[in-house]
Structure 1
Amino acid sequence: MPRLDDRLKLVAAQIERSIHADIGSDHGHLLAALLASGRIRRGIAVENKLQPYRNSTATLSALNAEVRLGDGLEVLHEKEVESLSICGMGGQSIVQILSQHPERLPDEMILQPNKAIDLVRRWALNHGYWLIDEQSTSGSRRFEVLRLQRSTAIPDPIYQRLETIHLNESLGLIFGPWFLLRRDEDLRQRLTAEQTYLQSKPKLTAASRERMKAIEQVLCNVHFRSR
């Protein structure tokens, strides 16, 4: 069984449905691990380039899995899978994939954006998916994993809970509502380090000034738990 790094271990731990698709699987290691451990019954890997398609085919050849060559959800059928994952892409790319064939989206999705994570949270908020959990890896290179579940109830109540710590939806989209509500010391350390960095710059762009303001709001209002 392929050994997963901390990032993919965190993703795998969130997957609980029987039939799972991994979009942009690269080497097929996530699906191989899920199948070997019995967390899923069948896997579908989707690749849009030939070499990753060959890599995943080689990894998954002896398992109950299929590798398809295509772009995003275009090679999946409606209601074919119960969950899907997209890992290692930017938030803008993930949102583009999710938006192209909304009728093919399953009820549960595990997403690991490398950047622009707020775009993914906003997409979920606006398209009937609740953010039911957020987790992150530890260490200097932090990866965040979002678990989404379809719901007919709008809006997602997790953002309303931010009012209990004197924050708002906008800050939740930026920093993650679960991370803020847990008031974890790791979050405080990251925001403090970023604040120090921004304060050291002789001149800030408009976007950086807005980021600084958001960080200050969180640090002033949230009573973080110590280790």
Structure 2
Amino acid sequence: MSNPVLDARLEAVKHLIRAGVHADIGSDHARLPVRLIRDGHAARCVVVELNPGPLEQARRSVARTRLQNHIEVREGNGFAPLQPGEVDSASVCGMGAHTIMGILKRAADRLPPALVLQPNDSALLLRLWAREAGFHVRAERLVAGYWTYAVLRLERVGGPDPAYVGLPTAAALRYGPHLLRAGGELLRRQVEADVARLTPVAAPGRDSWTELHTARTALDWLTGEAVQAAVL
């Protein structure tokens, strides 16, 4: 049977997953787990869905692709249907960062050592959570779509995250340490759009003032001005 087609953001998610057993939380049609199995990115997947409609769609997709021996569909909320240590990694995609962070915080000891996250808005909250929860940002992708999507791979590692060393911290948290180092036209357009959006409304004492300073710092880094100043 033909492979389900993934959009650009889920293709980016797929490429950041390598696992023996992987859980996809809020999988909807289970397209991602099907491709993970067929493309050799995971040996087994657990699909978790809370809502009846997507749950049934996921079950039909797995049955249609005849992957019942490799993909198990479970009904439940977040990581609750999983046992501690059952999976090597998990993905949570297509939700707001607040929602994803809530799911992660409720997971407790069910949280696996590797996570791939794709929020529909700013990933800042997730990077802040990662620092507090003992996860390092191992890889990042930026994908154009209806929005500009950030995709993060986090791994549980002790000590400070080396990804942030040598970078302006606020800018790296807001835009991503690996993305900031790599640069690229897509990130630069995003930062320039933030500067243009914030400049007319920013004023001392407001959150927008801090956000504008962070965006300008990121833009300086991307254009090389911050690096040149450090060398001088």
Confirm or deny a common fold (TM above 0.5): yes
CA distance in 2, matches of 1:149, 1:192: 30
* C-alpha contact 2:202 2:209 (8 A) present in aligned 1: no
Question: 2:181 maps to which residue?
Answer: 181
1:75 and 2:81 matched: yes
Offset, 1:105: 1.2
Q: What is the aligned counterpart of 1:96 among 96, 102, 109?
A: 102
CA distance in 2, matches of 1:202, 1:82: 44
Q: What is the aligned counterpart of 1:46 among 45, 48, 65?
A: 48
- In structure 2, the CA distance between the partners of 1:91 and 1:217, relative to structure 1 (3 Å rule), is same
- Give the secondary-structure state (helix, strand or coil) at the position aligned to 1:93: helix
Question: 2:196 maps to which residue?
Answer: 196
Counterparts in 2 of 1:1-227, with a 5 A limit?
1-61=3-63, 62-63=66-67, 64-138=70-144, 141-152=147-158, 154-162=159-167, 167=168, 169-200=169-200, 206-224=206-224
Deviation string, structure 1 residues 46-90 (Cα, Å, up to 9, x no partner): 011111100000011221111111100110001100110000011
- Give the secondary-structure state (helix, strand or coil) at the position aligned to 2:139: strand
- In structure 2, the CA distance between the partners of 1:138 and 1:174, relative to structure 1 (3 Å rule), is same
- Give the secondary-structure state (helix, strand or coil) at the position aligned to 1:3: coil
- Give the secondary-structure state (helix, strand or coil) at the position aligned to 1:101: helix
* C-alpha contact 1:198 1:204 (8 A) present in aligned 2: no
* C-alpha contact 1:46 1:71 (8 A) present in aligned 2: yes
- In structure 2, the CA distance between the partners of 1:47 and 1:179, relative to structure 1 (3 Å rule), is same
CA distance in 2, matches of 1:23, 1:142: 21
CA distance in 2, matches of 1:124, 1:51: 32
Deviation string, structure 1 residues 100-141 (Cα, Å, up to 9, x no partner): 122111111110011141110011111111101111113563
The TM-score normalised by the length of structure 1 is: 0.89
> What letter corresponds to residue 53 of structure 1 in structure 2?
L
Deviation string, structure 1 residues 164-205 (Cα, Å, up to 9, x no partner): xxx2x2221111111111232332222223322333559899
CA distance in 2, matches of 1:205, 1:22: 41
User: Identity of counterpart residues, as a percentage?
Assistant: 34
* C-alpha contact 1:188 1:224 (8 A) present in aligned 2: no
* C-alpha contact 1:89 1:113 (8 A) present in aligned 2: yes
Offset, 1:211: 1.5
Query: Which ranges in structure 1 are unaligned for 5 or more consecutive residues?
Result: none
CA distance in 2, matches of 1:110, 1:140: 20
Q: How many residues align?
A: 219
- Of 10-19 and 216-225, deviating more is 216-225
- In structure 2, the CA distance between the partners of 1:203 and 1:123, relative to structure 1 (3 Å rule), is closer
RMSD after superposition: 2.1
- Give the secondary-structure state (helix, strand or coil) at the position aligned to 1:18: strand
- Give the secondary-structure state (helix, strand or coil) at the position aligned to 1:131: strand
CA distance in 1, matches of 2:72, 2:92: 16
